[in-house]
Copies of this chain bind each other. A is one copy, B any other.
Amino acid sequence: MNTTTTNTARLLITCEDKAGIVQAVSSFLYHQGANITALDQYATEAQGGRYFMRVEFEIEHLQTKKDGLVETFQANVAGRYDMQWRLACVSDLKKVGILVSRVDHALLELLWRHARGLLPCEITHVVSNHDTLKVAVEQFGIPFTVVAVNKDNKVEAEAEIHKIMQGNDLLVLARYMQILSADFVEKWPMQVINIHHSFLPAFVGANPYKQAYEKGVKLIGATAHYVTADLDQGPIIEQDVERVSHEYSVEQLRELGQDVERNVLARAVRSHLEDRIIVDGHKTVVF
């Protein structure tokens, strides 16, 4: 909820919980001439648990000072607390590649929000295993490439996708109906976001709306999560549901579900782009 400028940066920190961390970080920033504009922290409950922090700050001449800040922070603060951390400058727009198959709702929601200035990133490329959405994507001025996938060329296809997507900070699976191999996923650790069309962990696997219909659930949902080698088991970023009744056919569940999917995915991608997410083992901290 913060305004951002060319001089705005964010620190994301994970370490063991100890006394004095807030003081150390805020003193450091103060003495560098920075003004803290947002600060969130969270500690797991156990004494000596893990500690997570997100600080947004403004500092004059950020771009010229950036390298120095990184070096000094490591030397003076991060080393002392054994922090895992990173600095992100708001004006360094993240590069995003999108993978999609034939269904367009999740993709179009992202392109539409991006066109309206609501997703702070550069969308560099859309890759699909079908050419169905070529015109729709190119109307937004975004390159579209078909990489066909079948059971014989999976390795080559993934190699090609990996090559095309080089240089991106994030891949978004906007209803991409191929399962990425563990090899591929390991090259993009916590850099691939998927939208799963169910309220995970319910209805893992194929055709969740059919599963939901047969189970007779009264709510359907969608889950955005980071992709790991465990199918549908990566850290959950965002979830939402809508109320349904016995009257909904599988097709109607799907139609309503797509509205949930596109909103959940857009919110998850935005949280990633705003550096709000820290992964904590199998879970996420979303500030």
Q: Which of A40, A116, A246 has the most CB of B within 10 A?
A: A246
Distance A283 CA – B218 CA, assembled complex (angstroms): 10
Q: Chain A contact residues: over half helix, strand or loop, or mixed?
A: mixed
Q: Contacts of A104 on B, CB cut-off 8 Å?
A: 116
- Taking CB as reference atom, which chain B residue is nearest A233? B215
| Whole-angstrom distance between the Cβ of A260 and the nearest chain B Cβ | 11
Chain B nearest CB from A87 CB (Å) reads: 18
Residues of B within 8 A of A231 (CB): none
A126-134, A160-168, A194-202: which lies at the interface? A194-202
Number of copies: 4
Contact with B along A275-287 (1 / 0, CB 8 A): 0000010111110
CA–CA, A272 to B142, complex, Å?
A: 36
Interchain CB contact under 8 A, A218 and B236: yes
Complex alpha-carbon distance, A23 and B25, angstroms: 8
A221 at the interface (CB under 8 A from B): yes
A92 lies within 8 A of chain B by Cβ: no
Give per-residue flags for A196-210: 1 if the beta carbon is below 8 A from chain B beta carbons, else 0.
000111110000000
Give Cα distance in the complex from A50 to B42, angstroms.
Answer: 25
A259 within 8 A of B: yes
Interface residues in chain A, defined as those with a beta carbon under 8 Å from any beta carbon in chain B: 1, 3, 19-23, 26-27, 29-30, 34-43, 45, 104-105, 108, 112, 116, 118, 139, 199-203, 214-219, 221, 235-241, 245-249, 252, 255, 259, 263, 280, 282-286
